[in-house]
Amino acid sequence: MEPTTKKWYQQIEELTDEGFIFTESELGQNSNSDSLLDLMILERAPNLFTLDGSRRVHLHIVRRHLNDNDQQQDDGATYDTLCIEDIIIITVRHESIDYTSMKFLMDELSDAYRNGHLENQPDAVSYLDYTLYERRNDRSVGFNYWQEHQRNLNTADFLSHIPCDQPWIAHPPAVVPAHSIVSRVDKNITQTMLQCADACNTTLATICLASFCAFIYDMTNYWHDDIGITYTMASRPTEPEAGGLIGPFMYLKLL
């Protein structure tokens, strides 16, 4: 919003190599899950972006095979055609991310792929508006706040609530018909979760929910399309540093 006229405006910035990274690679159909896992590890945000850098988005197209209709150019590259089983990896450096901004991003990616370009709509809010807002704010105080907050956490308060892959039944089946599952979490697991939260610039609540999501997947051995885990940030942190990092648009996390 323009502070003088109180009107919304949209500023268009050209996407350059400083703000956008595009990568194209191949991964054969016979590649095992370890190859895909190694690829996803390399795509982690800390490996692609720096805290003070200007790069915001990394788009990686992983081709599993070439479509019969694809023709190679003289330099060996292929025309821009996606095939079934191709993988699209989008890594975004955007702390004020929420359900609303992700919808803008996916809609714009879909329009760009289907139409070959993005329509310029001066009165519309685009995903770039979110990243522009964030880029112009000093986030160093917020990062320092979360690092200090996570460093001083009393892990004993939440150890029994973190799911892990070694559950045990608190009472034998012969004693009680209803079984309580208690998780054993050692110091190494706790330290790993703290390091993960620090590296991803997120909260332990998000890491715990992600662990619980993986726990459900491991227990059911099947991932249904309608399974999802969400939590609402009904109680926002009162510290201004925390609010500055989370962003004004966040109200829902979807894993």
Identify whether the C-beta of residue 96 lies closer than 8 Å to the C-beta of residue 133: yes
Positive or negative, the CA dihedral 65, 68, 71, 75 is positive
Buried (b) or exposed (e) across 216-248, using 16+ Cβ within 10 A? eeeeeeeeeeeeeeeeeeeeeeeeebbebbbbe
pLDDT of amino acid 191: 77
Where do we find the tokens 């191709």? 86
pLDDT of amino acid 247: 37
- Which domains, ranges and CATH numbers included, belong to the chain? 20-135 (3.30.559.10), 140-254 (no CATH)
Identify whether the C-beta of residue 158 lies closer than 8 Å to the C-beta of residue 170: no
Gap between the Cα atoms of 202 and 57, Å rounded:
18
Instruction: Return mean pLDDT, the chain.
Output: 60
Give me the tens of pLDDT residue by residue for the chain, a chain 255 residues long. Answer: 566 776 666 555 555 556 667 778 887 666 666 777 777 777 765 666 665 555 667 788 888 766 555 445 555 555 556 777 788 887 776 554 455 666 777 777 777 777 766 676 666 667 666 666 666 666 666 666 656 665 665 555 544 444 444 444 444 444 434 444 455 566 777 777 777 777 666 666 667 666 666 666 566 555 444 444 444 443 444 444 444 444 333 333 333
The gap from C-alpha 150 to its chain's centroid, in whole angstroms, comes to: 20
Identify whether the C-beta of residue 214 lies closer than 8 Å to the C-beta of residue 221: no
Read off the pLDDT of residues 29-38 as tens digits, 9 standing for 90 and up: 666 667 777 7
pLDDT of amino acid 186: 66
